Chain A
């Protein structure tokens, strides 16, 4: 998962400054806080250099002045394209899929089209694996079974997400308001 896309995703919800982006990143995508603040700031500079974000203003709430970044049109196109594309179905893709779901909610996008596209991509892959299961030797058959069980687990998780969209969106909104205070 690239920090670059994560920052574009976070900024597509609302303009923000580096310090707040770092805490938001940790809250929703990286509970271990493994990405250093310096990397967040460096990535923001590169995004600005590449024309995907720009500085909107500088705020100073009693503390040091902070640069507020916002997406440019090019940045919005890039994140929209990435969020709309399903993840290539492979077992154990949960981190990337989770990231897309969370960033889509933050960006205020409807997540149903992503869930549908992902379900379809998964079913296509599962049909291929089922075909392989029926036509290959034992070793490949067992490997195909392994992949099928994992892809099925992903699909069950997608169904669970789909059932909870309203609550998830409300939860993200509540978190955002709390972070803004």
Chain B
């Protein structure tokens, strides 16, 4: 159920021929359970793609394989034309820190750090000087309209505020792709809508591609395209077959 023909708003209309991310023929097994069967996904620069599917369909596994968190048993994943599924663990970690950002269902902020320190953390890990990292963190908090929360710790924030911090953290390294797994799954619909408005606006403004796993149609409606995972397959994908597995 892909729909590339319909695009609601301007920022991600351009779709250059070269995909930013391309996963082909992915198989993934957990013990006796097959989570992915020849699944594929293509993401172009700056586009927002929703990945939907029933519980247990394999949509989170697909996201984790494409994002280099999990290594697929078969198939391949290319980022910017370069194969990444066969990189060493260290190289994949570095890629995840520099080129990718992540937003999870429960924020996964570090409780002992303030909002600004949470946002600065990935920059510090990459060797940015503390002063500069904190300045950039403050700028991202401002972009997400939560500059006044900079010194609060996660337990002093609402769920929606914490997710805005998580989005700021994901954007801080200026990634080319942000992966979001049920980004508003723990929020009520009003806070969820506000977070998604801010998240997708900032992603479009910075031409950052977003791959968003969700089971909620209202969340998927923010994307320019939806792919559906069923039983480990992406039925309409043009990448899910054809002897391309490694």
Residues of A within 8 A of B (CB): 116, 119-120, 122-124, 126-131, 134-135, 148-149, 151-152, 155, 159, 163
Contact = CB atoms under 8 A, between A and B. Distances in A.
Interface string B1-41: 10100111100000000000000000000000000000000
Contacts of B61: none
Contacts of A123: 1, 3, 217, 220-221, 226
B3 A130 contact: no
Contact of B201 (A119, A124, A134): A134
A126 B9 contact: no
B81 interface: no
B94 interface: no
Nearest to A159: B54
Contacts of B1: 116, 119-120, 123
Interface residues of B, number: 19
A148 B218 contact: yes
A120 B218 contact: no
Nearest to A130: B221
A129 B9 contact: no
B197 interface: yes
Contacts of B104: none
Given A127-B8, A131-B9, A134-B197, A148 B221 contact: yes
17 contacts: A119-B228, A120-B3, A123-B3, A123-B220, A123-B221, A123-B226, A124-B3, A126-B217, A126-B218, A126-B220, A127-B8, A127-B222, A130-B221, A135-B9, A148-B218, A152-B217, A163-B54
Interface in B171-220: 197, 201, 216-218, 220
Given A116-B1, A123-B1, A152-B217, A134 B54 contact: no
A152 B218 CA distance: 7
Please report whether the interface of chain B is mostly helix, strand, loop or mixed according to DSSP.
loop
Given A129-B221, A134-B9, A134-B197, 14 more contacts: A116-B1, A119-B228, A120-B1, A122-B217, A123-B3, A123-B217, A123-B220, A126-B218, A127-B221, A130-B222, A131-B8, A134-B201, A135-B9, A152-B216
A128 B226 CA distance: 14
A120 B228 CA distance: 10
B223 interface: yes
B42 interface: no
A135 B10 CA distance: 12
A63 to B, nearest CB: 49
Contacts of A124: 3, 6
B224 A127 contact: yes
Given A123-B226, A134-B201, A128 B218 contact: no
Residue from the set A120, A149, A151 with the largest chain B CB neighbour count within 10 Å: A120
B135 to A, nearest CB: 29
Contacts of A128: 6, 8
Contacts of A130: 8, 218, 221-222
A124 B224 CA distance: 9
A152 B192 CA distance: 15
Contacts of A127: 6-8, 221-224
